[in-house]
A and B are shown apart, each in its own frame.
Chain A
Amino acid sequence: MRIEITRAGPLATVQDAGRHGHFADGISASGPMDARGFARAGDLAATSATAGLEITMAGIAFTYTGEALKAGFSGGLFTLAINGQAKPWDAAHSLADGDKVEIKPGPLGNYGYIRFAAELDVPKVIGSRATNLIVGLGGFEGRALRKGDALALIPAKPRKPQPASPPAANEGPIRFIWGIDADQFDRKTLNAFTASSFTISTKLDRMGVRLTDGQGVFSTARILSLVSDAIVPGDIQILGDGTPIILMRDHQPTGGYPRIATLISADLDRFAQLRPGTHVQFAPVTVPHAQALLKETR
């Protein structure tokens, strides 16, 4: 069993649940930008395989070779065709030998996932098959997929079909917990941060998402360089020129710009799927509230 990439959008990568536990080695965990979308694709494929493909807005096309194989497609809303025939996204489909799978842009989201009822045969590196693009580690040769790449699939145990976790609600402000450097900002800036609207810029990737600060919340803030400290995904860091950047799955493990806030885990996937030009507002919650929301989504 194998797939051969016939068209690759930018930054399509192999991901699994992530390479956790290696911050001290200087490696962030990577893993899917939309972990729930990734899990849902796996539920749909009813597979115990750990790795899958993450694609970006432009989609991907590949040819499948091998015996009949179930595949789950989820995350965002893309346009899917198999051998030229339109198929529903956010669904499972059976692939047959020679099938041409074409995924084109759809109306929603930045990231889509394809999981197979077989394991993508890329080596585990430091315990994971996830691609870390900042380091060039894991996945397929440590890099994004390109046209002509061929990935073998090896048998994986099927999993009992289970109801796929529903897609995350897509409404309301993105919630956060005040950050470890919130005390570096004055009251006026903190208030303006929660009262203002920001825009997702076109500068977004697996490392971080830059926001456009149209209302100038941070234009006059004095940004100091701090003793560098640990970063976690969802940290909102304010750069020296006042640009807010939300650090994502391939973030640098440490940083010295002030962190005003950290997005809650329950909203991080939803945030990752917001397209450039989307207006976004942020609302503070308590740690217990964030943890209760996380339990609901699990």
Chain B
Amino acid sequence: MDDLRPTLMPLGDSALLVRFDRRLDMRANGAAISLARQLGANPPNGVGEIVPNLVSVLIRYDPGVTNFATLAGDLRLVLFGLGADADANAGAHHVVQVRFGGSEGPDIEEVASSLDMSVADFIAAHNANPLRVLTTGFAPGFVYCGLHDEALHLPRRQDVRAKVPPGTILFAAGQTAIAATAIPTGWHVIGQTGFRNFDATKTPPTKLHAGDTIRFEAVS
């Protein structure tokens, strides 16, 4: 935490954002997850919702109960004692089975060749290390996992696919993402999982949380 300098700023009149960095960085991400976890366990007065993002935490509050200055004061105390990396990986562990390539992962050959790898080597490298759920929230049940080693970093595609189905495994920007609903995407489509992180009949409707750990496993 020592060299992270969180900025506290209003996001409208009923929310506050704690931002740890302007770039995606694992320590800033870890700090965001830790802060959200600590606040979730012990929410300050008037706080309604705490949402960890990639490098920030959104805190929605009731301005009839508290205000920005009071809440910022409460948060600074929590931030002083924040241990970023220790807490960030304290979430649950999951295994996600993926069918890589084929018609469900049409970009995998292009991805592997862009990285100067065979498809088999790419899959092995992709699954080598467990990844952190960096954040959730882009779409229902959608999760970003990362970060991969630098050798696996690849920009997004030039064009956007109008729709990929639930369960699609996406790859770009050093991350692997899992779509839980049909969404448009500019990421590389590398596979498909039977795992669904969204069920509208359940409350809460999602299983994965920021800070959880995911190990991807290839199945045929």
Contact = CB atoms under 8 A, between A and B. Distances in A.
A298 B58 CA distance: 24
Contacts of B204: 22, 25, 126
B24 A227 contact: yes
Contact of B19 (A27, A125, A180): A180
B53 A254 contact: yes
B108 interface: no
Interface in B23-56: 23-24, 48-49, 51-56
Interface in B168-192: 180-181
B147 interface: no
Chain B, interface SS category:
loop
A181 to B, nearest CB: 9
B205 A25 contact: yes
Interface in B92-141: 135-141
Chain A, interface SS category:
loop
A281 interface: no
B9 interface: yes
Contacts of A126: 200, 203-205
A291 B53 contact: no
Contacts of A22: 204-205
B195 interface: no
B56 A230 contact: yes
Interface residues of A, number: 39
Given A26-B139, A291-B67, A21 B9 contact: no
Task: Sort chain B's interface into a size bin.
Answer: 35 or more
A18 to B, nearest CB: 12
Interface string B181-220: 1000000000000000010110111100110000000000
B142 A26 contact: yes
A264 interface: yes
Contact of B17 (A229, A264, A287): A229
B49 A291 contact: no
Interface in B1-27: 9-15, 17, 19, 21-24
Given A230-B58, A234-B12, 8 more contacts: A22-B204, A23-B137, A126-B205, A232-B11, A232-B14, A252-B139, A263-B12, A291-B13
21 contacts: A20-B49, A23-B137, A24-B209, A25-B141, A26-B139, A26-B140, A26-B206, A126-B205, A137-B140, A180-B11, A227-B21, A227-B23, A228-B53, A229-B17, A229-B53, A229-B54, A229-B55, A230-B56, A232-B60, A264-B13, A295-B63
Interface of A: 20-27, 125-127, 135, 137, 177, 179-180, 226-230, 232, 234-235, 252-254, 262-266, 287-288, 290-291, 294-295, 298
